[in-house]
Amino acid sequence: MASSWLKFLTAPLQLLIVLLHVAASSSISSRCFTTIYSFGDSIADTGNLYFDINTDHHIPPSQSLVLNLPYGETYFHHPTGRWSNGRLIIDFFAEHMGIPLLKPYLGIKNGKIRDWKPMEEGVNFAVGGATALDPSFFVDKGINDIATNYSLGVQLDWFQHLLPSICNSSSGCKEILGKSLFFVGEIGGNDLNHPLFQYTSVDEIMRTYVPNVINEISSTINKLIDVGAQTLLVPGNFPLGCSFFYLNIYHTTDMGEYDHAGCLKWLNKVAKDYNKKLYAELNRLQVLHPHTNIIYADYYHAAYSLYQSPSLFGFTNSTHDACCVPENVNNNYDSSVRCGDPEVIACDDPSKYISWDGVHLTEAAYKWIAKALLKGHIYVDKEAQLC
């Protein structure tokens, strides 16, 4: 894996110019991947939680709100289980590559989706609220409010269970899966969120949580390569200190805690330190698997450019605003009333906002990030050929 793209990170203006050029250009790509397989959490969930609602599993009320409008209002005009007003990064990747929007695994498993074409589409295993680590890890730490049991390990089990429907021999799987793009994440964000919600020290998070999360991601990558995966896109974490949610629960009057974009510097450092360790592990794996393409996707800087200069991307609302949150949040966003509740009215034009519901981003923000990754050649390693 090359690291030449890092030199761009010290030149924000260059990043902005390239992104604006990307938006102004249009191109029709060839279908360089036949299918996409996605693992992750709410950043990539295209409906697994939606189809899980009718099972015997208990879904916390805060999670089931995604099944209500205004979620999905912009593009789909109805809730689909996506944690945004419209499409996600994974959707824009599929559109760009000429692949149908990924169907959720639980819809296929439950028989609710019957038109799935395994040789032409792919599957999404991501679930809102998922962690990289098994929930038992958090229970041992005294954290019991994990949103779902569908951890990364469970999602990998789903894929392996579905594999006979995709290919039926070792050689056949390697050929078919070798033409597929595997999204392994973003995953791990919720593993950091849970201790941060409980005000766990940064030292404890970096010492206890982060190494285990990265080991789980690494193990998953190895197992996917073993069955035939050749191209794996592994996103890092977003700039946590720019999150509307964290800006409210960690609000301070000490202006020295904020950077010029209005983000909390110490929280962004947590994300950057995590990403640095993940990147190092991906480099190690690439050496072990020289015939694969393990791509680091820098979600952090792709998103941070939006917070840094929002008006250049058409966003007229600041980092401290979100489209779909209760009025008069007053630094107490962790209330029981959230987007999806009848009393919470979304803004008139989500495209002017970076943050959708205080935690997740708007379709407009996700679109910019996807374009940067696909066309900018800045936020991924130079070997990455993503069409």
Confidence class of residue 371 from pLDDT cuts 50, 70 and 90? very high
151 is catalytic: no
Q: Which range, of 308-317, 354-363, 374-383, averages the lowest pLDDT?
A: 374-383
Quote the CA–CA distance of 344 and 77 in Å, as a whole number.
18
What pLDDT shows up at residue 38? 98
Does the residue 365 lie in any domain? yes
360 is catalytic: yes
What pLDDT shows up at residue 88? 98
Confidence class of residue 54 from pLDDT cuts 50, 70 and 90? low
High-pLDDT (> 70) share of the chain, %: 84
Q: How far apart are the first and last CA of the chain?
A: 18
pLDDT digits (tens, 9 = 90+) for 329-352: 656 665 678 999 999 999 999 999
pLDDT digits (tens, 9 = 90+) for 66-83: 999 999 999 999 999 999
Quote the CA–CA distance of 280 and 255 in Å, as a whole number.
33
High-pLDDT (> 90) share of the chain, %: 75
42 is catalytic: yes
What CATH number did the domain enclosing 116 receive?
3.40.50.1110
Q: Give this prediction's pTM.
A: 0.90
Mean pLDDT of 225-243: 97
User: Rounded mean pLDDT of the chain?
Assistant: 88
Does the residue 189 lie in any domain? yes
Mean pLDDT of 87-107: 96
For the cut 90, the answer to whether the pLDDT of residue 203 exceeds it is: yes
3-class DSSP state of 222: helix
Q: Write down the residue that tokens 């805690």 correspond to.
A: 257
| Non-local CB neighbours of 241 within 8 Å, separated by 6+ positions | 247, 259, 263, 264, 265, 266, 267, 268, 269, 270, 271
For the cut 70, the answer to whether the pLDDT of residue 1 exceeds it is: no
3-state SS of 100-159?
CCCEEHHHHHCCCCCCCCCCCCEEECCCCCCCCCCHHHHHHCCCCCCCCCCCHHHHHHHH
For the cut 60, the answer to whether the pLDDT of residue 327 exceeds it is: yes
Q: Which range, of 16-25, 262-271, 334-343, averages the lowest pLDDT?
A: 16-25
Best-predicted range by mean pLDDT among 116-120, 301-305, 380-384?
301-305
Mean pLDDT of 27-47: 83
HSE of 162, CA atoms in CB hemisphere, 13 A: 24
Domain count, the chain: 1
Does the residue 226 lie in any domain? yes
Which residues are bridge partners to 294 per DSSP? 232
Mean pLDDT of 22-31: 41
Q: Which range, of 78-87, 167-176, 204-213, 350-359, averages the lowest pLDDT?
A: 167-176
**The Cα angle at residue 366 between residues 260 and 26, in degrees rounded to 5:** 110
Catalytic member of 52, 218, 360, 381: 360
Q: Which range, of 53-67, 150-164, 313-327, averages the lowest pLDDT?
A: 53-67
What pLDDT shows up at residue 124? 98
Does the residue 383 lie in any domain? no
What pLDDT shows up at residue 207? 98
Catalytic member of 42, 84, 151, 218: 42
Does the residue 382 lie in any domain? no
Catalytic member of 41, 52, 191, 357: 357
Structural domain including 119 reads: 4-375
What pLDDT shows up at residue 260? 95
pLDDT digits (tens, 9 = 90+) for 131-158: 999 999 999 999 998 989 999 999 999 9
